[in-house]
Amino acid sequence: MLKKACLVSVLICSFQYTYSQSTFLPLNSEDHLLLDRLETRSGRLSDTIALGDQAETRRNAVRFLESLKNKEIRNQQNSDTSNHAGTLVNTQALSQIDLYNLEQMLSENGEWSQPSKTGKLINYTSEGVNPDGAIDSKRPIFNVFYKKQYDMLHVNADGLYLVVNPVSDNIIMQQHNTGATTGSEIKSLRYFTSRGAEIRGHISKKVAFYTSITDNQEQYPYFVNKYVTKEHQSIPGADYFMHPASPTGAYDYMQAIGYINFEAVKNHVNITLGNGKHFIGDGISSLFLTDNSSSMPYMQIQTRIWRLNYECLYLELTPQYDKALGDGLVNHKFSTIHYLSWNTNRWLNLGFFEAEVFDRPNVYEASYLNPIIFSTAVNRFNGEGDKSILGMSAKILAAKHFQFYGQLMFNEFRAKELFGSKNWYGNKWGVQMGGKYFDAFGIRNLDLQGELDVVRPYTYSAKDTLANYTNYNQPMADPLGCGFIKAMGIIRYQPRKNLYLSAKATYYVQGVDTGGVNFGNNIFNTYRSAESIYGVKMINGIRSNCAMVNLNISYQVRRNLFVDLGGTYRKYTAGAGIDNNGYTTTGQIDGSLTSQYFYLGVRINAARRDYDLF
């Protein structure tokens, strides 16, 4: 208690010495896609933003966008192509839709953007000014609500900047399944509804705050329902939940995200305390850390100096437990993550990753507060049971249209075994390779992305069921866990300002753990029970195959208010009728299953709910 009290006291006292701060862009939002696209089309890596370490701050995003806008204005002034109204006219890489998206994003983050007329150079915000670049609404409600176009409640006065918005996501879907046993108790008509609110702002530009709370009721497509009811039950991306009262009912759960943020060293060191998610990587998925699992309590220290971005994450996690035994107080485990990102030049970024998961329930080792990356030597005296993951990443920009990225991750290996022919089970590694093509084939705002992920069996498992790389019965990296080869491709096209078209295809091959035999594909099994020490192939055990295709149309009625229409096709097959989604260890359950579902949804200030994860 004394240590905790001292820590809290130090943090409170430090607020009086803090500088400007910022909230973060929401994960999975279109904002990160826009920043990624604009950075590549600019032809050089930005030292202002670090997109491989999400989420990005609103302040840094605005500074990056305003620099691009200023460059565009100068190009127009030099070439005398701006019209008399002062409207931006495309002269370089940015399309008119890009310019529209840029202006809208600046408005949405009005606490950091300068109010300016289109076509005028922008001056960066000084510390003594409280800017407000949000666009005024033409028809506010009672002169109180939606005074700004995209904010239900917008306050900027007396040292307080406050934005309050509703959060809602509502989907209705029709599913059809064919297979061995498709669960006649699961109705064809499914739905998802989420309702809540988000609040963000800052106090005297010293302390930023954010919170989002939603109440959710969800009925899943049949193949997702099997995942939820597997041996280690969990809701994708959520934590505690209540089972439906009947087989045809809905799962009920709350989701809460919140944090406070302040700068300890002006423009360089930023500290965040909160509960939320993180994503490290430039791909569709990540071998390091994804937002696949539930929100987690954390302290984040982010340092940006020169071309370096360095992050320390201190996490409180929930180890696997058997929900079927009933609800009760669960244990906690802890993790420390370090990630260093370096823009070596204008086109090459290198990253270095380290993660430790402690093999002690409800105990945080003080030595793991060490902020120095690659300090895993401490586990020599803390106990060999701690889970250590090391990794490297790279991102390359080319020809203002192409981005190539990759990750290499090691959990454990021996050099002589790694290059040997015996396929030692302890060779635990993963590789990711991917690429993006912006404005593909000369078509403006047509973007392509392809990715290949390969992870060896046993990679994220541990010597026991505590130190594995999981949180709340879900993998912290790729949702498939380990022992798989997965290829993914996405086509994104924005033909009009508010119309978004996308197509996503996924195909993976994975082994299946079954009959009580641990082939290394179930991340929750201890590697001490491995079926064999040698002869462990990439696809180990019974082979399963899965192909998925999703088509989606989204129309933005107004900023962050979307109507979604789409469908998903999924075909899963496995030898001997074994289903990997259930992590089964005893029987043969629905080994072959073909699923289709079509959906219609309306959402505001929320990312689209995807089910094509596994």
pLDDT, tens digit (0-9, with 9 covering 90-100), for 562-571: 999 999 999 9
Which of the four pLDDT bands, split at 50, 70 and 90, describes residue 4?
A: very low
- In this predicted structure, which of 42-51, 247-256, 280-289 has the lowest mean pLDDT? 247-256
User: Looking at the predicted structure, is the pLDDT value of residue 582 above 50?
Assistant: no
Mean pLDDT of 101-123: 76
- In this predicted structure, which of 43-52, 112-121, 225-234, 492-501 has the lowest mean pLDDT? 112-121
pLDDT at 79: 65
Residues forming beta bridges with residue 357, ordered by sequence position = 335, 387
Give CA–CA dist 144/289, Å, rounded.
41
Residue 109 neighbours by CB under 8 Å, 6+ apart: 58, 61, 62, 133
Ramachandran sector of residue 123 (left: φ over 0; alpha: ψ -120 to 50; beta: rest): beta
Q: Rounded to an integer, what is the distance from CA 488 to the centroid of its chain?
A: 16
What would the two tokens of residue 160 be? 């307080």
Give CA–CA dist 140/380, Å, rounded.
62
Mean pLDDT of 271-292: 95
Q: What is the CATH number of the domain that holds 505?
A: 2.40.160.130
Q: Does the residue 4 lie in any domain?
A: no
Count of structural domains within the chain: 1
User: Looking at the predicted structure, is the pLDDT value of residue 5 above 70?
Assistant: no
Residue 12 neighbours by CB under 8 Å, 6+ apart: none
User: Which runs of consecutive H residues, i.e. helices, occur in 242-395?
Assistant: 379-382
Q: Does the residue 596 lie in any domain?
A: yes
pLDDT at 587: 40
Greater confidence, 235 or 246? Answer: 235
Q: Does the residue 613 lie in any domain?
A: no
Q: Does the residue 282 lie in any domain?
A: yes
pLDDT, tens digit (0-9, with 9 covering 90-100), for 494-531: 999 999 999 999 999 999 887 778 898 989 988 888 88
pLDDT at 1: 37
Nearest Cα to 239, choosing from 206, 216, 222? Answer: 216
Q: Does the residue 418 lie in any domain?
A: yes
Q: Does the residue 89 lie in any domain?
A: yes
Which of the four pLDDT bands, split at 50, 70 and 90, describes residue 381?
A: low
- Residue 151 domain boundaries: 12-127+136-604
pLDDT, tens digit (0-9, with 9 covering 90-100), for 187-213: 789 999 999 999 999 988 889 999 999
User: Which runs of consecutive H residues, i.e. helices, occur in 284-343?
Assistant: none
What does DSSP assign to residue 187? -
Give CA–CA dist 67/563, Å, rounded.
32
Concatenated DSSP letters of 271-297: EEEEEE--EESSSSS-SSB-S-S--EE
pLDDT at 20: 62
pLDDT at 102: 92
Q: Rounded to an integer, what is the distance from CA 66 to the centroid of its chain?
A: 25
Give CA–CA dist 358/337, Å, rounded.
12
pLDDT, tens digit (0-9, with 9 covering 90-100), for 448-507: 999 999 999 999 998 888 889 999 999 999 999 999 999 999 999 999 999 999 999 999
Helix (H), strand (E) at residue 10: helix 2-14
Give CA–CA dist 460/430, Å, rounded.
10
Mean pLDDT of 318-333: 82
Mean pLDDT of 49-55: 91
pLDDT, tens digit (0-9, with 9 covering 90-100), for 521-535: 989 988 888 888 888
The sign of the dihedral angle between the CA atoms of 66, 71, 77, 83 is negative
Give CA–CA dist 201/257, Å, rounded.
14
